[in-house]
Amino acid sequence: MRIVILLFALILSNPAFGQLPLFKNGEKLIDSTKGILDVGYNSACGPIDFNNDGLLDLVVGNHDGYLLLYLNHGTVHTPKFTSAFPLQLKEEDLKVSFNAKPAFADLNGDACKDLIVGTGSGKIYFYRNYGPDESPKFLKEEELFLENSAALSAGFLGEAAPAAMDLNRDGLLDIIVGTKKGEILFFLNNGKKGWPVFEREPSVLGFELGQFTTPYATDWDKDGFLDVIVGNSEGEVLLLKNSRLTRPPYFFSPIKIREASSYIDLGLFSTPALADIDGDGQKDLIGGEVRGQIFLYPNVSLGKEPSFLAKKQIPKSKGPLDVGRWAAVCVVDADYDGKKDIISGCEEGDIYFFKNSGTKDAPLFGEGVRLKAKRKNLDVGRYSTPMGIDFDRDGRLDLLVGNYEGDIFLYSGQGSRENFPTFSQGELLKAEYGDIDVGLFSSPFMADLNGDKKDDLLVGDIGGYANLFLNKGTKYEPRFDKGFPISTVEGKNLKVAKHSAPVVADLDKDGLLDLIVGDEEGRINLFPNFGAKEKPRFAYQIRLRDEAEFIHVPGHAALSIVDLNDDGVPDIVAGDSLGRIQVFWGYHPKEEE
């Protein structure tokens, strides 16, 4: 490959600029229940009209490598976003290693929006769009290539953040890439329409942009030339104006973008973008940051240069319940009104109560409220996993809660049945040999597994096992024996992928409790019971399916089996690693014919 190095001794100064954008202090994007629009950690926002309905949608990457789509079902001037759901790659969620940073561009010239994703490891993947305009569909990941057949990537610089623009105005889209070290890499497209082939441009910008740079190409001042705005690890947003040259240097030195009284600070590791979110013909500033939140600065300029108001909240329609990250759910009538409520743990250790304000057959859940013990938020440490049960049969709801350390805490219900559930101070649950401890990531569940009419304790762990602690006490005063892993009929320890979350239910209505286990990969696994009530024997593992494919959530499935809509058929309520809670409605096939 011939490499041409162009050396420029001329240092360009910034041209005269018009009025720079002004920003005021910001507010978080919220949903209609006052919950913030949140994807976990390290949000990277890609605004695009995804389904070609004339409304701007949001595609947001996160730390876990997922790309979450928020569809806009409001109006051009009043956007309203659905709850997020992952982009799909055929039958699976589209996922890269970590720190996904999306960009959209028609790289192969077929008039479809293709997807380019940078990753924390520095790799860049290309997902070809083969679907119709109103419903994009992406093929398996491909790599973009240089002329020497090497893969296009940020290499050892890491944290690739790609954007597409025609740098040298030859009619072909080139790639610019932000990196962990702060450099902006240029890859010129020397291929042809429909067949991009890239060459690394050896020139550098020659000025500092900070670290973890994330570029976004946009015509900032409406002069017909694409400029670049850049986020960095400090939360700044920098403007690089186009030099109008078809060779390096492509941009003038950076200018820090301001709000009304100070420089913009989106939050650490900012990922800015410009798009007309409110349909007024002016591009607004949208930005993600390290905590996973997304911010908006509306542009109210009447001229070419943007002028921004304070950050504004954008409503998002009610959708899957959300607790931040790592939702671990149980379903129980917590307030004794005859309707099933949802209780969920989360990564931070709090326990949330979602009251069912609907009806028995049409549940409707309100905003999550933190449960309390002794007037303080109930907290067992990180990765709380609750199970609601009347532990001592006194007519009041108690809570068993697992955590990251592998402990199990018992919170006894207090007060009258008519009041909002309150609990005593938690105490460690014990077995005959001492505190119950299964290692890391305990996930408790109670049921009578040996037919003696006393509830036994079943606990998942980080290794993927289901540990059984038999109740040697009474049904009013449970006392647990030493635990042991449950075995299958083959005599092997029953095991799924890491982070098992076991529950039991009679799914096939044969009078025997089957074992259902969520796992780290987001799968829900069934182990049918072929034994007897007094001696269960669990068969080989079966993946549960819906009508078209295996049931799957985005990581760390923690579930409850319950007839949520009171139709006589068990449903699956599942939490996932993104903090969302969703339901898979059960039905009998003959009823759907």
- Is 289 a domain residue? no
Q: How many CB atoms lie within 10 A of CB 394?
A: 11
Structure tokens, 318: 């009610």
State how many domains the chain has.
Answer: 2
Largest Cα span, the chain: 87
Task: Answer yes or no: do 484 and 559 share one domain.
Answer: yes
Closest residue by Cα to residue 272 from 194, 320, 318, 215: 215
Task: Answer yes or no: do 329 and 454 share one domain.
Answer: yes
Question: Is the previous residue joined to 272 through a cis bond, with omega within 30 degrees of 0?
Answer: no
Structure tokens, 505: 């239910």
Structure tokens, 330: 């149980």
Backbone angles phi, psi at 44, to 5 degrees: -130, 115
Q: Which residues pair with 185 in a beta bridge?
A: 177
> Is residue 434 classed exposed, middle or buried when 0-12, 13-18 and 19+ CB atoms within 10 A define those classes?
exposed
Instruction: Choose the final residue of a domain: 249, 266, 283.
Output: 266
- Is 80 a domain residue? yes
Task: Answer yes or no: do 234 and 329 share one domain.
Answer: no
**Given the DSSP bridges, would you call strands 376-377 and 408-411 parallel, antiparallel or unpaired?**
unpaired
- Is 29 a domain residue? no
Q: Are 346 and 323 in contact (CB under 8 A)?
A: yes
CATH of the domain at 378: 2.120.10.30
Structure tokens, 351: 């326990």
Q: How many CB atoms lie within 10 A of CB 366?
A: 15
CATH of the domain at 132: 2.110.10
> CB-side exposure of 266: number of CA atoms within 13 Å?
35
Tens digits of pLDDT across the chain (593 residues): 232 222 222 223 343 333 333 222 233 444 434 455 666 677 888 889 998 888 888 899 998 899 988 888 778 877 778 777 788 887 678 888 899 999 999 988 888 899 999 999 999 999 999 888 788 888 878 888 787 778 888 887 889 999 999 999 999 999 999 999 898 999 999 988 888 889 988 867 888 899 999 999 999 888 899 999 999 999 899 999 999 988 888 899 999 887 766 778 888 888 888 888 777 888 888 888 877 777 877 777 666 666 554 444 334 445 557 777 788 888 888 888 888 888 888 888 889 888 888 877 777 787 788 888 877 888 888 899 998 888 888 888 899 999 998 889 999 888 666 666 788 888 888 887 777 888 899 999 999 999 899 999 999 999 989 889 999 989 899 999 888 888 888 888 888 888 888 999 988 888 889 999 999 888 888 888 888 888 888 887 888 876 656 777 878 888 888 888 888 888 888 888 878 788 888 776 554 44
Q: Are 569 and 586 in contact (CB under 8 A)?
A: yes
Task: Answer yes or no: do 473 and 577 share one domain.
Answer: yes
- Is 462 a domain residue? yes
Task: Answer yes or no: do 135 and 260 share one domain.
Answer: yes
Task: Answer yes or no: do 499 and 400 share one domain.
Answer: yes
Instruction: Choose the final residue of a domain: 250, 266, 282.
Output: 266
* DSSP letter (8 states) at residue 26: -
Task: Answer yes or no: do 197 and 345 share one domain.
Answer: no
Domain that includes residue 146, residue range: 46-266
The residues, any chain, with a CB within 8 Å of residue 338's CB and separated by 6 or more, are: 360
Task: Answer yes or no: do 350 and 259 share one domain.
Answer: no
Q: What is the pLDDT of residue 120?
A: 92
Residue 54 region, left (φ>0) first, then alpha (ψ -120 to 50), else beta?
Answer: left
Alpha carbon separation from 238 to 117, 256, 550 (Å, rounded)? 22, 5, 45
- Is 431 a domain residue? yes
Q: Are 30 and 313 in contact (CB under 8 A)?
A: yes
- Is 242 a domain residue? yes
Instruction: Choose the final residue of a domain: 233, 248, 266.
Output: 266
Backbone angles phi, psi at 589, to 5 degrees: -50, -35
- Is 2 a domain residue? no
Structure tokens, 179: 């990196």
Task: Answer yes or no: do 364 and 493 share one domain.
Answer: yes
Alpha carbon separation from 304 to 177, 186, 220, 241, 281 (Å, rounded)? 27, 27, 8, 14, 11
Q: What is the pLDDT of residue 581?
A: 82
As a 3-state breakdown, the chain gives helix, strand, coil percent values, each rounded to 5, of: 0, 35, 60
- Is 11 a domain residue? no
Task: Answer yes or no: do 252 and 330 share one domain.
Answer: no
Alpha carbon separation from 273 to 99, 293, 320, 507 (Å, rounded)? 17, 14, 26, 48
Q: What is the pLDDT of residue 589?
A: 57
Task: Answer yes or no: do 344 and 213 share one domain.
Answer: no
Task: Answer yes or no: do 432 and 368 share one domain.
Answer: yes
